Amino acid sequence: MSILDMFKKKKSTDNHYLTGKEIRAIAKENSKVMFELERKKHRKADESEFISAMKDDKNILEIEDLHTYFFTEQGVVKAVNGVSINIPQNSVVGIVGESGCGKSVTSMSVMQLLQGPTGQIYSGSIRFKSLDFKRDENGNPIPIYETDENGNVVYTEAKDKRGNVKYGKDGKPVMVPVQKLNESGVYAFEMEEKVFDIAQMPINEIHRIRGRQISMIFQEPMTSLNPVFTIGNQLDEVVFIHTPGATKEMAKARSLEMLKLVGIAMPERVYNAYPHELSGGMRQRVMISMALACDPRLIIADEPTTALDVTIQAQILDLLRELKDRINGSIMLITHDLGVIAEMADYVVVMYAGRVIEQGTVSEIFHNPCHPYTKGLQKSKPTMDSDTDTLFNIPGNVPNPVNMPSHCFFKERCSEASDKCSGEYPCMVKISDTHYVSCHLYGEEDCNG
Ligand SMILES: Nc1ncnc2c1ncn2[C@@H]1O[C@H](COP(=O)(O)OP(=O)(O)OP(=O)(O)O)[C@@H](O)[C@H]1O
Ligand code: SF4
Ligand SMILES: [Mg+2]
């Protein structure tokens, strides 16, 4: 190629090349939308603006038509592009799909942890059934006090920080009502069930849910733990932040209880240790104990065993399975490991290129996979009885997330594609009450739209 050819102006239709004018136009459009979304996120809002109602009362979380975008210099990356997922109470829902399909971005949207201003929930709902503090007219949580056999509130002498009795101006001890402790050993408050739409919640209200009612276990515990504080400091902080009035003793007792719960044999020693003094498996146990500290209703585990070696993986999965029965909550388990899903989950959601393409119970997805991509995933799993040397792989790549086609996103890789597949994007077809698939191979008479 001659030097002159190199400087020839490329056509703007070239997929990988944007002219300066186009980049400026994208930046202008992006900043307009980002500014609007950031303003909405940081507004002061009355609770009525984000109170909602569940469509099905059996669910703890309902994600409906969620769109989460990244406004980049190259254009808008539609990382989550119309995702709907329900998580029933007391269940484990596994989310699978190849790298980049939007699993983590979906979970980050639920936690409102997207990095702004580029990452934004653009539209959709995330309804969560929360058990929140009942509040008085000043917005303070209402404590529950100890009562005697006649139903009268029990009072005790007030003490200062050093444990000395406080005296009033009249020289008599100041009397205060005795607050009850709940079964977790921390102060009890009146609670009420409310459904919040997290997608509409301003960022300064999200602490009512994040960490306390929905907690997250990340893939790499070392990056989630602070290296300069002891495990005890970090565990206690969770209790302090989410429990009004919690004392040091209460927080420590709760932290030690949680460490014991996740199978740590010497909780006192681990409590005083720094993260670097623990092994990878121990650190992941600490992360799990931190996630459990406030009795969450939903735990999001994003690849919780990926950074661990196989034997420790098995231990952590055993622990999660055991905890699932002990805590009265649900788990959203994100993984690309079908074996983990088969062992742990009740329901499976298969994602592809920012959309849900199939969902059903574990048995439906494993014994009757319908979508060609799910069938491909099953085939690419190594089995003990297969005698081939090479594993099946799904050929081709995911389409460019900035410029998604209007037809089925899997078409270019699909061995079962037909003429119909070049038309509209396939809608969700009902296979059974729990099994849905988005593919033109299935009759659209039952299409849900
Ligand atoms: N900060 C960001 N800026 C731009 N694009 C992003 C950003 N974070 C994520 N994305 C894009 O969003 C899409 C979904 O990413 P996500 O992290 O949810 O994938 P994933 O399914 O969790 O993959 P993995 O299995 O590798 O963790 C990807 O195409 C990714 O490139
Ligand atoms: S809609 Fe067509 S291209 Fe898409 S997965 Fe189904 S058969 Fe394949
Ligand atoms: Mg991820």
Q: How far is the CA of 101 from the centre of ligand 1 (A)?
A: 7
For the chain, what's the residue count? 449
**Residues whose Cβ atom is located within 5 A of ion ligand 3:** 104
Residue given tokens 């849910």 in the structure block? 209
What are the pLDDT digits (tens) for 253-279? 999 988 988 888 899 999 999 999 998
User: DSSP character for 35?
Assistant: H
27-65 tens-digit pLDDT: 898 899 999 999 999 999 988 999 999 999 999 999 999
Contact call for residues 288 and 320 (beta carbons, < 8 A)? yes
Ligand 2 centroid to 296 CA: how many Å?
A: 39
Task: Give me the chain's average pLDDT, please.
Answer: 87
Q: Among the bound ligands, name the one nearest to the CA of residue 427.
A: 2
- Return the DSSP state at 11: P
Residues with Cβ within 6 A of ligand 2? Answer: 371-372, 408, 410-411, 414, 416-417, 421, 426, 439-441
What per-residue confidence (pLDDT) applies to 229? 95
What are 330-366's pLDDT values in tens digits? 999 998 888 888 888 999 999 999 999 999 999 999 9
CA dihedral 254, 255, 258, 259 (to 10 degrees): -150
The residue whose C-alpha atom lies closest to atom 18 belonging to ligand 1 is 102
**Which pLDDT belongs to residue 387?**
64
**If pLDDT is split at 50, 70 and 90, which confidence band does 247 have?**
confident
- CA of 336, closest atom in ligand 1: 25
Pocket test for ligand 2, best of 407, 439, 442, 447 (most atoms within 8 A of CB): 439
For the chain, domains (ranges, CATH) are 33-137+187-213+294-446 (3.40.50.300), 230-293 (no CATH)
Give the closest residue (by CA) to ligand 2 atom 3: 411
Contact 235, 286 (CB under 8 A): yes
Give the Cβ contact number of residue 309 at 10 Å.
10
Ligand 1 pocket by C-beta < 6 Å: which residues?
70, 72, 77, 79, 97, 99-105, 115, 118-119, 336, 401
Determine contact, residues 285/263, Cβ cutoff 8 Å: yes
Nearest Cα to Cα of residue 250 among 179, 192, 193: 179
| Centroid of ligand 1 to alpha carbon of 100 (angstroms) | 5
Q: Which of 77, 115, 373 to mutate to test ligand 1, by most ligand atoms within 8 A of the CB atom? A: 77
Q: Which residues, listed in sequence order, are joined to residue 118 by a DSSP beta bridge?
A: none
- Per-residue pLDDT of 399-423, as tens digits, reads 887 888 899 999 999 999 999 999 8
Closest ligand 2 atom to the C-alpha of 373? 5
Question: What percent of the chain lies above the pLDDT cut of 70?
Answer: 92
Ligand 2 pocket: which of 415, 421, 424 to mutate (most atoms <8 Å of CB)? Answer: 421
